[in-house]
Structure 1
Amino acid sequence: MSVSAIFILDARGQVLISRCYRGDVELSYLDNFVQLLRDFEDENEAYPLLTYGATRYLWISHNDVYLVAATRKNANAALVFAFLYKVVEVFCQYFNELEEESVRDNFVIIYELLDELMDFGFPQTTDSKVLQEYITQEGRCLEVAPRPPATVTNAVSWRSEGIKYRKNEVFMDVVESINILVSQSGAVLRSEILGTIKLRVHLSGMPELRLGLNDKTLFHLTGRSKSSPAVELEDVKFHQCVRLSRFDNDRTISFIPPDGEFELLTYRLQTHVKPLIWIESMIEKYSHSRVEIMIKAKSQFKKRSTANAVEILIPVPSDADTPRFKTSTGSAKWLPEKNAVVWNIKSLPGGKEHMLRAQLSLPSVEAEDMSGNPPISISFNIPYFTVSGIQVRYLKIVEKTGYQALPWVRYITQSGDYQIRTQP
């Protein structure tokens, strides 16, 4: 990767923090980046990678600060950006939020972190839990030379030794978010599933966990019946604790987990998804005075499941006024700051449908074309349910002391970017 320097700038382009790792990029080089950034921003074409001479600047913004990595080598840009976002994550773990004020208040510890996060331009320890073992925000009086914790030099750098719990448990959440866009005619224009498997580990010692999923490739390798439900995971991204070589060989997800909460893996499924909550809309205009909107919401999943915290955001004209609502369930509220009506349904069981009628005064109804409305947005979550059909077949916990541990698995489906275009 070979990064020459890391800079943190404020919103005006002034340097807050600078750390040079290789000695081939000076602080004065940053003037070139600031000028390039201003030139491109004036043209509304600010690119994440800017070049001046032999120096390349890769940058991201977070709140009111810029993080800039400068390099004079042919570095892997994807890795550099991944490192910058990891820096933001670590700083947020330490200071709750990364912004100009928190940088000015914590510049000493930031320099310490930058020295541990990277060495001679190469990433080193980037796990915030490990860093917090020896870089703290509390003062210490050292009588002997400090020694780095074993996790820094250990083969399992993400987990400390000697962890003990009275009750050994593992909590696993399989969370799937649905992104979907439906046309006015009811055709699904875009749909995908983004999944995450999250773990909260309370285990003693150095346990090894083995996770089995209903993976289509695994079923093919083992010759399982084609009638068994299976999913084909795409774009799988693992936590560093997973043994990738073993997964490549036999699709076994084997790992020694960090202590506490972490994301074990993420995946994507580019597949056709039937809308779980379907919306039918009808707009009626009355002579020069008002408009009536009728919304029918129908749940299109099995009756044994229930969608919770359903929120349907219905756009209305910007000059709408004095709304009146009538709903078969839930409650409706006008949000003038968003030019929308929000319909909240606490609980929506599968196979049910409900109605909302809204009347709004609209003095300029002829001047505004209702067919140009933004789409209706829906948010919800459905516990104990996954759209893809992914299943945890087993979760084995192996530890040399042989203690008994309890695994808990929970499935959740939630809305991501879920939009349905309205009828004209």
Structure 2
Amino acid sequence: MFDSLFILNKQRRIIIEKHWKSIISGSILYDFNEKADTEDEGNIVPFTPLLNGKYYAAHIYRNGVYLVAILKNEVLPIMVIEFLEHIYKTIKSYFSGFNENVIKENFVTIYQLLEEMVDNGEPSLTEISMLKNIIPPPTIFSKVMNTVQIPKNLISGKTPLTPSKIPWRREGIKYNGNEIFIDLKEEINIIQECSGEDVNDTVSRGYIKGTLLCDSKLSGMPEVRLTFKNSRVLEDQSTSFHPCVRYAKFLKDRVLSFVPPDGSFKLMEYMLDVSSHQNLPVYVKPQFYIRNGEGKLDVSVTVKRTNGKDVEDLKVNIGFPNNIQNLKINSITGVNRFDQDGKTVLWNIGNVMSNPAPQLFQLTASFTNPENVDLNEYEKYITVNFKLNMYTFSGLKVDSLNVVENYSTYKGFRSISRAGQYILRL
């Protein structure tokens, strides 16, 4: 997949470099830095050719740190970006944080992790729970022992790993109390073009991204069976599974049957298309008028039926062109705040209690356009944020969760849905 990995600080100086197929000089980063200097920080094109296409650089930027993979051959960019994201999440999980200081303080362990996670440039052992059994996360005690050079086998307190037929789970796992928790998270992303007074329900781009997370603390080699209500929403959609899932059984019976890794992991991820606001719990309708040097914006927010769940932290952010003047805002419900420098209005509606009937909230803004410039040439937008607990946009729900083992298990499930990129362009 890639030949070398460079971890850089915010100033793009090398903190760690690791090579697999061949050693690539850090001087290649001059070309990367030159491209980075022409872009805003953190907004560099994530996959870019270097040295006239002789190499390629894929990168992510997290908490002031760049992870830059150098490739000699062009591959599917999303594969490299996704693996870099997994490396970032693994380091963050190991050290309960990810920044320049964390990397400098734990560079020896990070080198060990990269040795296990990457084999000849290809992903190898990526399961965090297995990595933590091979390379124990550092503790204050182990750091002190390392400084006085006491052998690790005298202080680790861990028994050697027992070989397992299942690559993501080791043998001999035991817990005094057995438990498994499932979190279903969905995020709605919508971009809608609203031209002046002409507003319709069609979205130019919309999808729901769902993630099923599992936290397993179970003894032995248990089989877990999970069934869904309304599983038909997953048909003909983009769905990916953890390797532990018996995919053939899911295709046949729509049952997730698996022997889970130990600890936290992503069990399933899916994406569903959204073509209109019809079935969404929050609907925003703007109307934008401009006549004779004066303008008006009416924004109505409708909270529909939410199956008895409250809409929490409902916020609407409105961006106006910089050249407007005399902006006046009026809303009966919620609190609005105007940022003069950024010409943005934050309308905080807050929590909306569930109600069988739709609930309507309105905001009106008036302004002047003294120079009579064409405001259609300037960026105008509305973004919406909210969340709902124990609710899903898609209607997908967990029906049953069973553990096939000869011990009692504590089981828990919750779901949360929130707005991601919910954007209306005026």
**TM (normalized to structure 1)?**
0.78
Q: CA deviation at 1:347?
A: 2.7
Q: CA deviation at 1:248?
A: 4.8
Q: 1:259 to 1:193 in 2, by over 3 A?
A: same
2:240 is paired with a residue of what secondary structure?
strand
What RMSD, in angstroms, separates the aligned Cα atoms of the two structures?
Answer: 3.8
Partner of 1:232: 235
The answer to whether the aligner puts 1:278 opposite 2:283 as a matched pair is yes
Q: CA deviation at 1:209?
A: 0.6
Check the 8 A contact 1:6/1:19 in 2, yes or no.
yes
The answer to whether the aligner puts 1:264 opposite 2:279 as a matched pair is no
Q: 1:240 to 1:296 in 2, by over 3 A?
A: same
Q: 1:327 to 1:239 in 2, by over 3 A?
A: same
Q: 1:337 to 1:200 in 2, by over 3 A?
A: farther
2:269 is paired with a residue of what secondary structure?
strand
Q: After superposition, give the CA deviation of every residue in 1:102-156 in whole Å (9 maximum; x if it has no partner).
A: 3333322222222222234443332333333434332343385889866684334
Q: 1:171 to 1:345 in 2, by over 3 A?
A: farther
* 1:353 alignment partner AA: L
The answer to whether the aligner puts 1:412 opposite 2:404 as a matched pair is no
- Cα distance in 2 for residues equivalent to 1:252 and 1:49: 41
Q: CA deviation at 1:353?
A: 0.7
Check the 8 A contact 2:173/2:218 in 1, yes or no.
no
Identity level (%): 25
Q: CA deviation at 1:267?
A: 0.4
The answer to whether the aligner puts 1:339 opposite 2:348 as a matched pair is no
- Cα distance in 1 for residues equivalent to 2:425 and 2:82: 35
* 2:391 alignment partner AA: F
Q: After superposition, give the CA deviation of every residue in 1:21-43 in whole Å (9 maximum; x if it has no partner).
A: 34xx2343x42x22443565577
- Cα distance in 2 for residues equivalent to 1:319 and 1:391: 48
1:301 is paired with a residue of what secondary structure?
coil
Q: CA deviation at 1:299?
A: 1.9
Q: After superposition, give the CA deviation of every residue in 1:306-332 in whole Å (9 maximum; x if it has no partner).
A: 322111112234366786654332222
Partner of 1:37: 32
- Cα distance in 2 for residues equivalent to 1:156 and 1:282: 58
1:188 is paired with a residue of what secondary structure?
coil
* 2:347 alignment partner AA: W
* 2:305 alignment partner AA: F
Q: CA deviation at 1:17?
A: 2.1
Aligned residues: 400
Partner of 1:226: none
The answer to whether the aligner puts 1:393 opposite 2:399 as a matched pair is yes
1:26 pairs with 11, 23, 27, which one? 23
Check the 8 A contact 1:317/1:368 in 2, yes or no.
no
2:189 is paired with a residue of what secondary structure?
strand
- Cα distance in 2 for residues equivalent to 1:251 and 1:278: 32
Partner of 1:7: 6
- Cα distance in 1 for residues equivalent to 2:48 and 2:369: 50
- Cα distance in 1 for residues equivalent to 2:301 and 2:152: 69
The answer to whether the aligner puts 1:171 opposite 2:184 as a matched pair is no
1:139-154 equivalences in 2 (<5 Å): 139=143, 140=145, 141-142=150-151, 153-154=163-164
- Cα distance in 2 for residues equivalent to 1:78 and 1:180: 21
1:211 pairs with 226, 250, 267, which one? 226
1:95-244 equivalences in 2 (<5 Å): 95-133=95-133, 134-137=135-138, 138-139=142-143, 140=145, 141-142=150-151, 153-159=163-169, 161-166=172-177, 168-184=178-194, 185-189=199-203, 190-214=205-229, 231-232=234-235, 234-244=237-247
2:320 pairs with 316, 321, 333, which one? 316
Q: 1:296 to 1:50 in 2, by over 3 A?
A: closer
Partner of 2:85: 85
1:132 is paired with a residue of what secondary structure?
helix
Q: CA deviation at 1:396?
A: 1.6
Check the 8 A contact 2:60/2:84 in 1, yes or no.
no
- Cα distance in 1 for residues equivalent to 2:425 and 2:71: 46
Q: 1:415 to 1:207 in 2, by over 3 A?
A: same
- Cα distance in 2 for residues equivalent to 1:420 and 1:58: 33
Q: CA deviation at 1:71?
A: 5.1
* 2:127 alignment partner AA: D
Q: 1:242 to 1:149 in 2, by over 3 A?
A: farther
Q: CA deviation at 1:297?
A: 1.6
Partner of 1:60: 59
**TM (normalized to structure 2)?**
0.77
- Cα distance in 2 for residues equivalent to 1:244 and 1:151: 28
Partner of 1:380: 386
Check the 8 A contact 1:233/1:267 in 2, yes or no.
no
* 1:26 alignment partner AA: I
Q: CA deviation at 1:210?
A: 1.0
- Cα distance in 1 for residues equivalent to 2:288 and 2:58: 47
Check the 8 A contact 1:151/1:159 in 2, yes or no.
no
Q: 1:122 to 1:302 in 2, by over 3 A?
A: closer
Q: 1:76 to 1:61 in 2, by over 3 A?
A: closer
- Cα distance in 2 for residues equivalent to 1:49 and 1:320: 39
Q: CA deviation at 1:179?
A: 1.7
- Cα distance in 2 for residues equivalent to 1:173 and 1:346: 24
Q: 1:126 to 1:282 in 2, by over 3 A?
A: closer
2:83 is paired with a residue of what secondary structure?
helix
Check the 8 A contact 2:56/2:72 in 1, yes or no.
no
Check the 8 A contact 2:8/2:67 in 1, yes or no.
yes
The answer to whether the aligner puts 1:352 opposite 2:359 as a matched pair is yes
Give the gaps of 5 or more residues in structure 1: 217-228
2:115 is paired with a residue of what secondary structure?
helix
Q: After superposition, give the CA deviation of every residue in 1:30-61 in whole Å (9 maximum; x if it has no partner).
A: 42x22443565577795725365996444313
Check the 8 A contact 2:4/2:18 in 1, yes or no.
yes
Q: 1:155 to 1:51 in 2, by over 3 A?
A: farther
